[in-house]
Amino acid sequence: MQAVATKLTGRRGDSLLFEDVSFSLQRGQALVVTGPNGAGKSTLLRMLAGLLPAESGTFVLSGDDGVAVPVAEFAHYLGHRNAMKRELRVSENLGFWKDFQRSEAAEGLSIDAAIEAVELGGVAHLPFGYLSAGQQRRIALARLLVVSRPLWLLDEPTAALDRRSDQLFAALVRDHLAQGGMAIAATHQPLGLDDTRSLVLAGRHRAASGSVESWS
């Protein structure tokens, strides 16, 4: 399985946020997108997830046999918000997403196992709204575990997390990569992942052309 982006261009209003962004990821690889505020990190990730149309360029996810597969069914997107309902219990929230995003390809973790994996054992019966911001973010990460999808698209995944939870998150991503997954994360903070590729969005807004330093 690999993910290939070719000459992606992102635009907000009249200004081009980035131009000619190209990269390719293989199984077990992660890409960290960095850059100043407003450089278009979120735009890029939403574009990859298919939530925004690309101005130009393509992003193709293809299976091991080389046939393209729909990103919507093979990628998890974690945005700024947690996609959980305050009034429902944690177990109900995760159970809903497990049912809703279920795929025939691979089973994810059970709800309890996912909650354990983010080290919040015991919160399953609590309404989501009772949790602190950091706990809520960790449950949002647990959503990625209850349904198994190869590509993770993470927008500021560690927002609201303390240092210890940062490490927890890095371990989760490492496990995911070790199992042959891929991850693309936009973040200001170092993720503590070794051997990652990085993509720097310079954040020079220009009407005519943008500048992108490619990943090393």
Partner 1 sequence: MMALLKRDLAIATRSGGAAMLGVLFFLAVVAVIPFGIGPDLNLLSRIGPAILWIGALLASLLGLDRLFQADREDGSLDMLVMQDWFGLVATVFVKSLAHWLATGLPLVLAAPLLGLLMNMTALSTGAVMLTLLAGTPAISFIGAVGAAIAVALPRGGLLVSILVLPLAIPILIFGVSASYAAVTDPDPFLPPFMILSAITLFFAALGPVAAAAALKGASD
Partner 2 sequence: MSDTTASQGWFTSLANPTRFLALSGRVLPYLAAAAVITSVIGLYMSFTAPEDYQQGITVRIMFIHVPAAWLAMMCYSVMAVASIGTLVWRHPLADVAAKSALPIGAAFTFLSLLTGSLWGRPMWGTWWVWDARLTSVFVLLLMYLGLMALHKAMDDPARAARPAAVLTLVGFINIPIIKFSVDWWNTLHQPASVIRLDGPTIHASMLYPLLVMAIAYTLIFFTLHFMAMRNEIWRRRVAAMRRQAAQSIGGETRP
Instruction: Quote the least distance from Cβ 18 to partner 1, whole Å.
Output: 17
Candidates 33, 34, 6; CA nearest to 22 is 6
Tell me the window of 26-34, 61-69, 73-81, 191-199 that interacts with partner 1 (CB under 8 A): 73-81
Question: Per rule CB under 8 A, is residue 69 in the interface with partner 1?
Answer: no
CA distance 21 to 5: 7
107 binds, among partner 1, partner 2, none (CB under 5 to 8 A by kind): none
Site string for partner 2, 85-114 (x = CB under 8 A): -xx---------------------------
User: CB-hemisphere CA count at 13 Å for 198?
Assistant: 14
CA distance 151 to 180: 10
Question: Per rule CB under 8 A, is residue 99 in the interface with partner 1?
Answer: yes
132 binds, among partner 2, partner 1, none (CB under 5 to 8 A by kind): partner 2
Tell me the window of 17-25, 55-63, 120-128, 184-192 that interacts with partner 2 (CB under 8 A): 120-128
Residue closer to partner 1, measured from CB, 72 or 106: 72
Collapsing DSSP to helix, strand or coil, 3 comes out as strand
Question: Per rule CB under 8 A, is residue 135 in the interface with partner 1?
Answer: no
Please pick, from the candidates 82, 135, 158, 165, the single residue that binds partner 1 as defined by CB under 8 A: 82
SS (H, E, C) 100-160: HCCCCCCECCCHHHHHHHCCCCCCCCCEHHHCCHHHHHHHHHHHHHHECCCEEEEECCCCC
Residue closer to partner 2, measured from CB, 43 or 135: 135
Question: Which residues are bridge partners to 24 per DSSP?
Answer: 4
